[in-house]
Amino acid sequence: DRRTDGAAGAGERPAPTEADLAGAQRVRYRRAPRYRVLVGLGVAVGAVLALVLALTSEPSATYSRAAVFGYLLAALGLSLGLLGGLVGVLLERVARRG
């Protein structure tokens, strides 16, 4: 049953009736941080930082720049990824209090 007189406006739904709300429950919408994004952002920052450090450091006779980048990427990517996850946990705790 569609209205053609335009009384309900485009995309508007009619107000629910008492029968519609009989089994409804009130819920609280809680915004949670996106951990995947925060951890990924930490790893990405770690990768950029590893690249900058590998390219600006003094060349070593023992390790190539690619090896230095790989080691730094593993260490900084893991560390900053964990830090991003920790930030997510802290943001969620702050959101629960408020």
DSSP 45-65: HHHHHHHHHHHHSPP-SSS-H
> What pLDDT does 13 receive?
81
Instruction: Give residue 24's pLDDT.
Output: 77
pLDDT of residue 95: 82
Is 92 within the bounds of a domain? yes
At 97 the pLDDT is 80
Q: How far apart are CA 64 and CA 71, in angstroms?
A: 11
Please provide the DSSP assignment of 8-27 as one string.
T-TT--PPPPTTTTTT----
Task: Encode the chain (98 residues) as per-residue pLDDT tens digits.
Answer: 455 555 555 668 888 777 777 777 877 776 777 899 999 999 999 999 999 999 999 988 899 999 999 999 999 999 999 999 999 999 888 888 86
So what's the pLDDT on residue 87?
93
Interatomic CA distance for residues 39 and 25, integer angstroms: 34
Question: How many domains, the chain?
Answer: 1
Query: Cα(10)–Cα(7) distance, rounded to whole angstroms?
Result: 9
Tell me whether residue 93 is in a domain.
yes
18 in a structural domain:
no
pLDDT at 66: 92
Does residue 89 lie in a domain region? yes
